[in-house]
Amino acid sequence: MAWETIPRLVQSAGDRFGDAEAVVDGPLRLTFAELAERVRTAAGAFRAQGVGKGDRVAVWAPNSAEWIIAAFGLVTAGGVLVPVNTRFKTEEAADIIRRSGAKAVLVRQGFLGREYAAPDGVPVIDLTSGFLASGSPFEADVRRDDIADIVYTSGTTGRPKGVMMDHGQTLRLYAEWCDLADLREGDRYLIVNPFFHTFGYKAGCVASMIRGATILPVPVFDVDRVLELVERERVTMLPGPPTLYHSLLEAKDGRDLSSLRAAVTGAADIPVELIRRVRGELPFRSIMTGYGLTEAGTVTASRPGDSFEDIATTVGTPCDGVEVRIADDGEVLVRGYSVMRGYLDDPEATAAAIDAGGWLHTGDLGTIDDRGYVRIAGRKKDMFIVGGFNAYPAEIEGFLLEHPAVAQAAVIGVPDARLGQVGKAFVVRRGDLTEDELIAWSRERMAGYKVPKHVVFRDGLPLNATGKVMKDRLR
């Protein structure tokens, strides 16, 4: 690889792709050469702010051109990026800002009608204030094994933990991701996945610099806005959670989506029918599905030529240099160069997550078939036991999603006097359906212990900003 660090990658993209469009954000259009220059200027602004090698800075803002310039400028100054979830309330964000030791916080004041504040003593800088353009061009001496970012886990399993990754890990993994996802030079990449998440930042912004793809950032998912951008900007690459593709299928009529070529998704419970419809009713020519986690990035991915069944029901095979095995209790274990350097300031949690053999314990349950394809059954903590039988919510949700009147489903285990625990399903309908009808339909398709005993219909499910259902809210 001609570049070993993210700053070198960005400057190289400026040289390699020059006058091609790098970022389109509303009226702002930047070429790769202009982006590289703005990033060096931003690096100078961080340096003037007193940010030195290894210093951490938080970015608590929505997807935008400024977010990209800030993140790349920060690492070019030798700093460490700490992205913060835009859906966090002030106290939740303050916890991460405080624990990360951030020297400053960059925000977009007024986003979602909010004012963003940091803990006492931490400067707050608005991304639109002119700060990023205030420096003299600068580039620190950054090495491949320097920590590049600390991304906090989503917190669905307790207090978020800061995952440390270095430049070399990110660049090797997402260069391979570009091949697997069929990202090409000149692609127009609509990024709905939030930049504060590994998918948005690394499989989005970093991958686009590797390949020479144009980034179109979307701050808040709105299907009409997405469709309008696809039409106007001739978008070719559109990754997202399964819910994104459901929305496209429902709203596609009368729209010109002919430019779309590559889709990327991932979840434990994608219905085969959804993949079939995405290929049959939308113009996508490639669909990749995969499995990853903050602590190891993308772990597995489907391959070109995989069947609808494999793309929907498995998460593909391991990436190059990554090993996957299943522990005796069914937990998915991962080992390889892409496994995190550890949790920030938490040696106990790091030792609990990565065993003496170097295996990362993911907390996910799964299987591997004789072809090496991995299936994810769900979170270890989500599994519940019905009369002695292990029930996996993701598997039950997959069955429920096959019902034509079920748009979304989430299953949890609840106490039961006779069986210990039973399933309770939260369902979003797309047609007429009663609790009794869905339970009777389920009995014909799955073992009795898997059939939900209770069904609650909702207008929507509580989702975090990356599209995952927050089951703690359902409990």
Between the alpha carbon of residue 89 and those of residues 115, 120, 409, the distances in Å are: 10, 16, 27
Q: What are phi and psi of 128, to 5 degrees?
A: -95, 10
- What is the four-CA torsion angle of 258, 260, 265, 271, rounded to 10 degrees? 10
What pLDDT is attached to residue 355?
Answer: 98
Q: Is 417 exposed, middle or buried (0-12, 13-18, 19+ CB in 10 A)?
A: exposed
Q: Give the DSSP per-residue string, 225-251.
A: HHHHHHHHHT--B----HHHHHHHHHH
CA distance 165 to 167: 7
Give CATH superfamily name and number for 6-368: ANL, N-terminal domain (3.40.50.12780)
pLDDT tens, position by position, 25-46: 999 999 999 999 999 999 999 9
**Helix 435-443 vs helix 393-400: angle between axes, to the nearest 10 degrees?**
110
- What number is the average pLDDT over the span 50-76? 98
Sheet holding 322-326, edge to edge: 322-326, 331-336, 360-368, 374-379
The 10 Å CB-count burial string (b at 16+, else e) for 76-96 is bbbbbbbbbbbebeeeebbbb
pLDDT band at 269 (very low <50, low <70, confident <90, very high): low
Secondary structure of residue 7 in the 3-state scheme: helix
Q: Is the pLDDT of residue 317 over 70?
A: yes
Q: Where are the beta strands (DSSP E) in 47-183?
A: 56-60, 80-83, 105-107, 124-126, 147-152, 162-166
Q: Evaluate if residue 435 carries a pLDDT over 80.
A: yes
Per-residue pLDDT reduced to its tens digit, 131-182: 999 999 999 999 999 999 999 987 555 678 999 999 999 999 999 999 999 9
In this prediction, residue 297 has a pLDDT band, given cuts at 50, 70 and 90, of very high
Is the pLDDT reported for residue 189 higher than 70? yes
Average pLDDT, the chain: 94
The residues of the chain that CATH labels 3.30.300.30 are: 383-474
What is the architecture of the domain spanning 383-474? 2-Layer Sandwich (3.30)
Higher pLDDT, 416 or 311: 311
Per-residue model confidence as pLDDT tens digits over 318-350: 999 999 999 999 999 999 999 999 999 999 999
pLDDT confidence bin for 268, thresholds 50/70/90 = low
Helix (H, G, I), strand (E, B) or coil at 212: coil
Q: Output the pLDDT for position 243.
A: 80
Give pLDDT, residue 102: 98
Residues carrying CATH 3.40.50.12780, the chain:
6-368
Each residue of 108-117: pLDDT tens digit?
999 989 999 9
Please tell me the predicted confidence (pLDDT) of residue 155.
59
- pLDDT of 70 reads 98
Is residue 453 within 8 A of residue 460, CB to CB? The reply is: no
User: What would the pLDDT profile of 408-421 be if each residue is shown by its tens digit?
Assistant: 999 999 998 888 89
Q: What percent of the chain has pLDDT over 90?
A: 81
Q: Does position 266 have pLDDT exceeding 90, yes or no?
A: no
